Amino acid sequence: MKKVEAIFRPFKLERVIEALVALDVDGMTLSEVAGFGRTGGKTEIFRGSAYSVNLLPKVKLEIVASDRLARLIVEAIEESARSGKIGDGKIFVTEIIEAIRIRTGDWGEAAI
Ligand SMILES: Nc1ncnc2c1ncn2[C@@H]1O[C@H](COP(=O)(O)OP(=O)(O)OP(=O)(O)O)[C@@H](O)[C@H]1O
Ligand SMILES: [Mg+2]
87 Cα to the center of ligand 1, angstroms:
6
- Position 44 pLDDT exceeds 90: no
- Pair 93, 70: CB distance under 8 Å: yes
> What local confidence, expressed as pLDDT, does residue 105 receive?
98
Is any ligand 1 atom within 6 A of the Cβ of residue 90? yes
Is any ligand 1 atom within 6 A of the Cβ of residue 7? yes
Residue-wise pLDDT tens digits, 59-94: 999 999 999 999 999 999 999 999 999 999 999 999
Handedness of CA 98, 62, 25, 75 (dihedral sign): negative
- Pair 77, 65: CB distance under 8 Å: no
